[in-house]
């Protein structure tokens, strides 16, 4: 009798598995079965928002399901990422990460409401975009040497804007002050779009901005490009020299973007999203949209993206230290 009872239990377990396993596989195969939201940790109108919308549209078209953008701005991206870290790891809440949020902020802030390495899993790298130093065209400076002389001639009469305290643009501005021996006053704004409008209006005179945000204004002549924070010149601004060309090293640190998810998100969903992103971004139309924004598209596996982030943490720690910036 014990043998028969044991056999019955074993058969019941086998039958249960035969029901549950296909159901689980079917459930995973159906992903995404509902709307997926992508948290953009900045206000509408800036680089993070623009790229989030490109990603959402590309994935919606590729999968036939709805991917939407939810803006959760504040604290240099920390509010949005904190919300992402607390979200259910089921693949239905993703986030747009960038260099400042995933690398810079870890060295910049004394404490964060999340841990870059522990709380997130990299899903897919999108690409990088350099920052460019621009000025209000009313300034007589046409190059970095002339700008340096002008800033030194009237210490503290000039100000530089940024997309927020602790943003990469803020760090570059402080670093420029140190390298040139100038004393520009930092004026933070709520996002890239607002900072650009303030520069055009003359309320600040200098700004570091991404090509995603500033290329249209450069083309229109409403701002003047001085130098590019990149290793090489870019096709959209072929006549703008890099900082290294001008004898100033340390500014070769383009910002980069990628999609992340809460730790615990199933590996098969991460792999699915990574594959869908790479396929979508290989589409010439999508790739052209990214490049029109000034982005240099790229592709990485989740494992490669994780290794990349770890290397970026070390690089930005050095930059933050040299800038002398520390936030609570």
CATH of the domain at 181: 3.40.190.10
Q: What is the pLDDT of residue 24?
A: 39
Q: From 52, 99, 55, select the one nearest 277 (Cα to Cα).
A: 55
- Asked if 189 and 272 sit in the same domain, the reply is no
Q: What is the pLDDT of residue 29?
A: 57
Q: From 104, 171, 115, 108, select the one nearest 316 (Cα to Cα).
A: 104
Rounded to 5°, the CA angle 245-251-254 comes to 110
- Asked if 145 and 98 sit in the same domain, the reply is no
> Left (φ > 0), alpha (ψ -120 to 50) or beta: where does 257 sit?
beta
- pTM for the complete prediction? 0.78
Range of the domain at 142: 131-229
Residue 295 lies in a domain: yes
- Asked if 140 and 206 sit in the same domain, the reply is yes
CB-CB contact of 169 with 209 (8 Å): yes
Residue 80 lies in a domain: yes
What are phi and psi for residue 98, nearest 5 degrees?
Answer: -140, 170
Residue 245 lies in a domain: no
**Count of the separate structural domains present in the chain:** 2
- Averaged pLDDT in 10-residue chunks for the chain of 328 residues: 46 42 47 97 86 94 96 91 97 95 88 93 94 96 97 92 87 92 93 92 96 90 96 90 93 91 98 95 89 84 96 87 81
- Asked if 120 and 41 sit in the same domain, the reply is yes
- Asked if 115 and 263 sit in the same domain, the reply is yes
Residue 173 lies in a domain: yes
Q: What is the pLDDT of residue 274?
A: 97
Residue 83 lies in a domain: yes
How many alpha carbons fall within 13 Å on the CB side of residue 199? 33
Residue 168 lies in a domain: yes
- Asked if 47 and 86 sit in the same domain, the reply is yes
CATH number, domain at 36? 3.40.190.150
- Asked if 224 and 166 sit in the same domain, the reply is yes
Residue 1 lies in a domain: no
- Asked if 107 and 182 sit in the same domain, the reply is no
Take residue 65 and report the two structure tokens written for it: 């399901």
């Amino acid at each position: 009798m014990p043998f028969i009872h044991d056999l019955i239990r074993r058969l019941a377990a086998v039958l249960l598995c035969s029901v549950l396993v296909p159901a689980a596989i079917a459930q995973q195969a159906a992903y995404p079965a509902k709307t997926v939201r992508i948290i953009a940790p900045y206000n509408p109108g800036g680089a993070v928002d623009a790229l989030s919308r490109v990603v959402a549209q590309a994935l919606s078209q590729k999968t036939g399901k709805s991917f939407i953008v939810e803006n959760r701005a504040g604290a240099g991206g920390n509010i949005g990422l904190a919300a992402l870290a607390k979200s259910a790891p089921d693949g239905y809440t993703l986030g747009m990460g960038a260099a400042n949020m995933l690398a810079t902020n870890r060295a910049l802030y004394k404490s964060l409401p999340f841990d870059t390495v522990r709380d997130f899993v990299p899903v897919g790298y999108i690409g990088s975009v350099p920052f460019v130093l621009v000025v209000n065209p009313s300034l007589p400076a046409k190059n970095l040497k002339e700008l340096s002389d002008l800033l030194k001639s009237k210490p503290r009469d000039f100000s530089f804007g940024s997309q927020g305290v602790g943003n990469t643009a803020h760090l570059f501005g402080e670093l420029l002050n140190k390298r040139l021996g100038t004393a520009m006053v930092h004026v933070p704004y709520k996002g890239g779009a607002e900072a650009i409008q303030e520069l055009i209006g003359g309320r600040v005179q200098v700004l570091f901005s991404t090509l995603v945000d500033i290329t249209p204004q450069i083309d229109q002549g409403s701002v003047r490009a001085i130098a590019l924070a990149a290793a090489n010149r870019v096709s959209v601004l072929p006549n703008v020299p890099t900082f290294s060309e001008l004898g100033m090293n340390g500014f070769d640190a383009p910002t980069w973007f990628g999609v992340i998810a809460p730790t615990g998100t199933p590996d098969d969903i991460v792999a699915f999203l990574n594959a869908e992103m790479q396929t979508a971004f290989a589409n010439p139309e999508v790739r052209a949209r990214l490049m029109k924004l000034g982005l240099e598209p790229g592709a990485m596996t989740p494992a490669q993206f994780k290794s990349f982030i770890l290397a970026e943490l070390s690089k930005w720690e050095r930059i933050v230290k040299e800038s002398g910036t520390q936030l609570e």
